[in-house]
Structures are given as structure tokens and as C-alpha cells.
Amino acid sequence: MQKDRPDDRVLEGASVNDRPGNASALLVTNGGGVILEANAAAAAALNVHHPFLVGKPLVVFVSPREIHAFFTRLSGIRSSGRNQNCDLRLWPYRRLPYDAAMQIDYAPTAADGGRFTWQWRAPPLLPVAATSPPPAPAPADEARVQQPDDPTTNALETLRRVYVAAVSHELLTPLTIIKGHAELLADPAIRHDATLAEPALRAIEEEVERLRRQVGNVLDSTRLSAGQLTIQRGPLALRPLVEDTLRRFGGRSRLHQFVAALPERLPLVCGDQDRLESVLYNLLDNAVKYAPHGGRVLVRAVVRPAVVEISVEDEGPGIPPAERQHVFQPYYRVAAGSTSKGSGLGLHICEAIVAAHGGRVWIQSGEQGGAVVHFTVPRADAEPAARTDK
């Protein structure tokens, strides 16, 4: 995105919902509609802070009734290669929806399905969503003719955003990779050549595991919202759990060196193997995403009197102290790493799982920079009263 154009497109200093009325909202998405760049006017037009906006699917801010049309339009523009002007009903965060006259420009690229540039003018002031109870139901005949958007259905809106955010980005990425390798294996010459087929099969296996984990994150998020996250605790050996997870990640990234620093005597913990494996997977996934240039990823375990403390350390840019209290909120992304892919659910789910075990999670800076995420799990041999690490 060009940031030096003289038409008020980029207003980096504007605060949310406080901008000149003639400023154009402008953002760039990839082929799946995930926001890569945005100006302050776009953040204001969607009533969110700029760091939150980048990395989120644009469809999160589209009226539910237009979601199908939104993806159909993206596909049509990619196929034709033509720019398009259309009306799109946007639903800003905690504001009433409005119709935007959208100008969509498309530029093909070698990856990610091209680049879409979206430009529109929002109302000078976004009307606040009503907080009063919804009006009485309309007569049946009238309801069939028109059913306006109802911003008071907060529970349904939350579920919609969780679902759409995951499907539009987190789930489509591994599916695209799987499809590409499956098409490669359809060629008999490649299928019968082990040197070519084995890497493709290995990539498919890795992406299926990644897809399984991402679906699990979405399901866990909805269970958390409903207060239904269950933990099946029992004596558990951490060493095989850590080593197996690191072995799988070794094939995920050739740029990173995955190292385990585990004490020779590592006591059993009282935990749920699947849930703790999910915690470790999410932390390793973050370490890879936020240190894209590679480096060492260290998993360390320290035995304490009542708990075992596990940490995952990377060599990325780290997490600023001011943001560490926010990263466990759902969908929150660190601004410094906002160009990496992800829905912002991982740490939120990690914290909930660890808390359900009676442990805690916290973040520090590494000795050589980077981030260190610590979490504790109660020891199986600890007295029940001592198993909660507050």
C-alpha cells in the first residue's frame, strides 16, 4: 500500500471513530479476504483499533446475510481479473451496520490468491448499536418480507465471528496445501517416484494434523464460551509428550531448531494428555509464526515442589511488556507480529486449559531476546491441596 498519496487515504494518527468525514477507508486483503494492511480510517470505519484489524478476515465485519455473496464475489473477481464496484453491508464492532459503496481493485500474485484493495467512505459518525431489549416480533407476513439485522443478538454474533474467522483463514490455508499436493500425486509419474511422492505425502500428513488442531481450537473456543471445556486428569509422563510433539514440529519448519531441555528425573504430572498436548502445540506454533526467520525453539522443564514448570522460548522479536496482559484475550494479536497468520485463539485456549489443571501461564523476555511462555502443571505426587498454582 502506498502511504504517501495526497488524498487522505492514510491517517495513521487518527483514533478510532474520530477522523475527518471525507477520509477514504482503505485496506488490502489477500485472496481469502484476510486483512494485510489498513489505514486508520478503515479501522475507524469498522470501529476497532488498528493493531487489532490487521490479520483478521474482512468477512468478520460483513453482515451475516452477505457472507456467501462476499466469498462468491471474491471468487468471481479472481476468475475474471476485473475490478469491481459494489454495495457491501458492513457491520462495525459494536455499531449498527451500514451500506458501503465499495471499490474493489484486484492484482494477481504468485501466492495467497492475489491482492484485493478495498476503498469506501463510511458515515462521519457510526451509530451506536442499541442496548435495549429487541422490539416485539413483527407479524408473520411482515417478518417474511423483511428481517433487519439485529445487533442485540450478541451470543449468535460471537459464535459467527469465531466460526468465520477460523474458516476464512485458519482452515483454508492447510486445505489449499493439501489440495495442491493431492493434485501433484494424481500424476502417475510422480506417484510412482518415491523421491517425489514421499515429501508430498509427508506434507499432507503434517497439514492434516495442523487442520485437526485448528478445528480443535475453534471447538474449544466455543466450549469455553459455553462453560463446557472438560478436563480428564490422570498421571501423565511429560517426557514422551514433549519429545513426540517436537518430533512432529521438526518436519513443520526446516528453519527452526527444536530443542528439549528436560531434567533426567521428571516426575509424573496430573493432567489431560490431549489438552496439554494442545497447549504445547499452540505455544510451538506461535514460536514458529512469530520467529519467521528461524532460530532455536527451546522447550524446558523445571521441577518445583508441587508443580512442573514448562516453558517455550523462541528467538523472535518478543512481546512488549505492555501487551503481555492482553495476549490471552481471544483474537488479540501482538502488533509487532501482526503480519503472521493466525486467529488469535491459541493463547486464550492455552490459558483456559492450564487454569483448568490448577496451573497458571505467564510471559517473560528471553535472555537473548524473544519471548518465553511459561506454564505450570501439578505434580501427580503432590498433595491435593498443593496442586493449585496460584
**CATH number, domain containing residue 126:** 3.30.450.20
Task: Say whether pLDDT at 3 is over 60.
Answer: no
**Does residue 213 sit within a domain?**
yes
Instruction: Return the number of other C-beta atoms located less than 10 Å from residue 215's C-beta.
Output: 15
Domain boundary among 205, 226, 247: 226
Which pLDDT does position 380 carry in this prediction? Answer: 93
Average model confidence (pLDDT) for the chain?
A: 75
Q: Are residues 382 and 240 located together in one domain of the fold?
A: yes
Q: Are residues 222 and 238 located together in one domain of the fold?
A: no
Q: Are residues 214 and 238 located together in one domain of the fold?
A: no
How many domains does the chain contain in total? 3
Task: Say whether pLDDT at 132 is over 70.
Answer: no
Which pLDDT does position 307 carry in this prediction? Answer: 96
**Does residue 200 sit within a domain?**
yes
**CATH number, domain containing residue 346:** 3.30.565.10
Q: Are residues 86 and 221 located together in one domain of the fold?
A: no
**Does residue 90 sit within a domain?**
yes
Task: Say whether pLDDT at 16 is over 50.
Answer: no
C-alpha–C-alpha distance, residues 252 and 281, integer Å: 12
Say whether 28 sits in a helix, a strand or coil.
strand
Which pLDDT does position 177 carry in this prediction? Answer: 66
Domain span including residue 204: 155-226
Q: Are residues 297 and 184 located together in one domain of the fold?
A: no
Domain boundary among 172, 200, 226: 226
Say whether 171 sits in a helix, a strand or coil.
helix
Q: Are residues 241 and 353 located together in one domain of the fold?
A: yes
Mean pLDDT of 107-128: 78
Q: Are residues 315 and 365 located together in one domain of the fold?
A: yes
Reported as a single tens digit per residue, the pLDDT across 36-89 is 889 988 988 888 877 777 777 787 788 767 766 777 787 778 778 888 898 888
DSSP 8-state code for residue 23: P
**Does residue 324 sit within a domain?**
yes
C-alpha–C-alpha distance, residues 157 and 179, integer Å: 31
C-alpha–C-alpha distance, residues 164 and 133, integer Å: 26
**Does residue 142 sit within a domain?**
no
Q: Are residues 80 and 176 located together in one domain of the fold?
A: no
Reported as a single tens digit per residue, the pLDDT across 146-176 is 344 444 345 445 445 544 554 455 566 567 6
**Does residue 239 sit within a domain?**
yes
pTM attached to this predicted model: 0.52
Q: Are residues 222 and 328 located together in one domain of the fold?
A: no
Reported as a single tens digit per residue, the pLDDT across 284-300 is 988 888 887 788 999 99
Q: For cell 457472507, what's the residue?
A: 67
Local confidence band at 333 (pLDDT 50, 70, 90 cut-offs): low
**CATH number, domain containing residue 213:** 1.10.287.130
Q: Are residues 62 and 174 located together in one domain of the fold?
A: no
